[in-house]
Amino acid sequence: MTRSDSRPGSDAADGTAHGDWTAPGDPGDPDDLASGGDDAYAVPSDAPVVECPRCGRPFARERHRDLHVGVDHADLDADERAAYEAASEDERAELRRFRIVSLGLLVALYFGFLFLYAVVG
Ligand SMILES: [Zn+2]
């Protein structure tokens, strides 16, 4: 099966189009990821697609494609390297923010229950 055969336009006719991008098999399967994944992806026909210039794998966002190119492909040119580093820095900044917000919520929850116990209990 070629990649174009798995496009959602062909799936939509029989009502099997998925609301989200899915790859055949278990997407969390480490063996599948280690081998570069399967070639077939179900992509909604109206969804904006950013494809990898090397393997054609579809992504929803340019940043995801840039991260994929930097991680899964070798011999990056200067533009690809710069895009990968920018995407990687954005990813690290988001993770840092998520950790800070999560810690703040956990502390607020802890002291909230502590004060509630002190007042009510
Ligand atoms: Zn690729």
**Residuewise pLDDT in 10s, the chain (121 residues):** 444 444 444 444 444 444 455 555 444 444 444 444 555 788 888 989 999 999 999 999 999 999 999 999 999 999 999 999 999 999 999 999 999 999 999 999 999 999 999 999 8
Look at the chain and report how many structural domains it folds into. Answer: 1
**Per-chain residues with Cβ under 5 A from ion ligand 1:** 52, 54-55, 57
Report CA(34)–ligand 1 centroid distance (Å): 13
Strands 50-51 and 58-59: antiparallel
Ligand 1 mean position to 77 CA, how many Å? 14
Tell me, yes or no, whether 118 lies in a domain.
no
In-domain check, residue 25: yes
What integer pLDDT is reported at residue 2 of this predicted model?
Answer: 44
If you measure from the C-alpha of residue 67 to the centroid of ligand 1, how many angstroms do you get, rounded to a whole number? 10
8 Å CB contact between 119 and 109: no
Is the residue at 97 inside a domain? no
DSSP state of 13: T
Tell me how far apart the alpha carbons of residues 15 and 66 are, in angstroms, rounded to a whole number.
32
pTM equals: 0.58
Query: Is residue 61 situated within a structural domain?
Result: no
Helices (H), the chain: 8-12, 30-34, 62-72, 78-120
For residues 51 and 6, give the distance between their C-alpha atoms in angstroms, rounded to a whole number: 15
Determine the structural domain holding residue 14 and report its residue range: 1-47
Domain for residue 117, yes or no? no
- Does residue 22 lie within any of the structural domains? yes
Cα 36 to averaged position of ligand 1 atoms, centre (Å): 9
